[in-house]
Structure 1
Amino acid sequence: MSFSCDQSLDGSFPPSPAEDRGSKRLSWSSLLQRLTELKGINQRVTADHLCSRSETGSEADMSLSESDSSFFLLEESLATEVAGTITQSLNDASDMLGCSKLILPDCLLHNISQELLHLAVCEPCGLRGALIDLCVDKGDQSSLCTVDQIAADATLVPTFHVTLVLRLESGGLWPKVQKLFKGSRSPQTSARHQDTLRLSTSFRAIKRKLYCSGELLIEECC
């Protein structure tokens, strides 16, 4: 009994070339689809991981930023309070300085508060650790006049000492106006009240750390 070359031993016929190619295409399609699905899963897992890390980092950065902002706000608020105390001390010092009135330039107290913040930036307790000697240089033969000593935070042991040396205005228009008013006063008025004095916008800040020796910083501020 002869067999056809296209007929198998069990009498069935092998699939046609077209059917075989179709079966292979279906198999490759399933495999590619599965690989695509796995690739998509991996991408989602990686993306979720990176997103989680990014969100964690952002939260930490945000927390740090908020902490820094709160600290700076507290420092600025304290600097404003200290500037107010300095203003009051200077207003009360007219008799000590031998004048009827002491005029403070608008920008002087702002510049002083900014200088104090600058000097406190590297201190362990910030501006709270400042002990401030407030002085006025009258520009004559007399010694420096110490107006007041101010602790930024009286409940804290000071960590650094600042001497603020303010100056009387000796140039510009004010001395000329001062002389003009001085000439129009009666002798009794001049004897009872000295001239009105105006502070200069420039001052000197001398900083000394109290927890280490040999470190002195002198800054001229305009």
Structure 2
Amino acid sequence: MVATNKMKSKSTEGQAERRYAQVCMEKELDFWARCLAEPPMAPDVTEDRTCQQLAKMFENCLSRAKKTTLHCSSVLVPEKLTRKMAHEVLRLASCEPCGLRGCIFYIHLELEKGCKQLERITYDSSVVPTFELTLVFKQDGTAWPSLRDFFMGSCFAPTFRHVLKLSPGFRLVKKKLYSTSAGTVIEEC
């Protein structure tokens, strides 16, 4: 009798374990079904905020350069150029040891005569730089100056300064400072 009693308890224990395992598996499947049914989550908020800050930093650089280096009345920037540049910069900085904090930016403008340096920016001065990024804005060469600009600049208002229009394309040059074998990465966008 004891033997049959043990057999019953073993079989009831086995059934309980199987039911428990089945319930766990069903819960797990329900969890994954809900995860797959939910829409994908929005991009990381901090990454988006960093992207906005970078874009604003590039716009501020152009604004300062307009008055000091470029000597023009206005700079026309394509609609999403600075945002696109910020995304590319974040992508290039993602594989660096200190990320974006270890970056030094050199911002240039490519002119017909060559490149003109607009500004040098250290993203975080408390971190030892690990890489340099040279961002090269390109001047839009397809735009012809309007007749009004021509006449205003030559005859009627000798102090009038020209309008600079930027191209939607740009160049990024990345140089690692901590590795001699890494070399330089050049990307045309």
Q: TM-score, normalised by structure 1?
A: 0.66
Match of 1:218 in 2: 186
Aligned mates of 1:168, 1:186 — CA distance in 2: 20
Match of 2:66 in 1: 94
- Whichever structure has more helix as a proportion of its residues is 1
Whether the 8 Å CA contact 1:166–1:199 is kept in 2: the answer is yes
The one-letter code sitting in structure 2 at the alignment partner of 1:158 is P
Match of 1:203 in 2: 170
Count, aligned residues: 172
Q: TM-score, normalised by structure 2?
A: 0.76
Please tell me whether Structure 1 or Structure 2 has the larger radius of gyration of its CA atoms. Answer: 1
Match of 1:134 in 2: 107
1:70-219 matches, cutoff 5 A:
73-95=45-67, 96-139=69-112, 141=113, 143-171=114-142, 175-176=143-144, 178-185=145-152, 187=154, 190-214=157-181, 215-219=183-187
SS of residue in 2 equivalent to 1:185: helix
Match of 1:43 in 2: 18
SS of residue in 2 equivalent to 1:116: helix
SS of residue in 2 equivalent to 1:206: strand
Percent of aligned pairs sharing the same letter = 27
* Structure 1: 5+ residue stretches without partners: 1-25, 59-68
Aligned mates of 2:150, 2:102 — CA distance in 1: 47
Provide, for residues 98-150 of structure 1, a one-character-per-residue CA deviation record: whole Å limited to 9, x for no partner.
322111111110111011011111111111111100000112x2x41111111
* Structure 2: 5+ residue stretches without partners: 33-41
- Seen in structure 2, the aligned counterparts of structure 1 residues 188 and 89 have a Cα distance that, compared at 3 Å, is farther
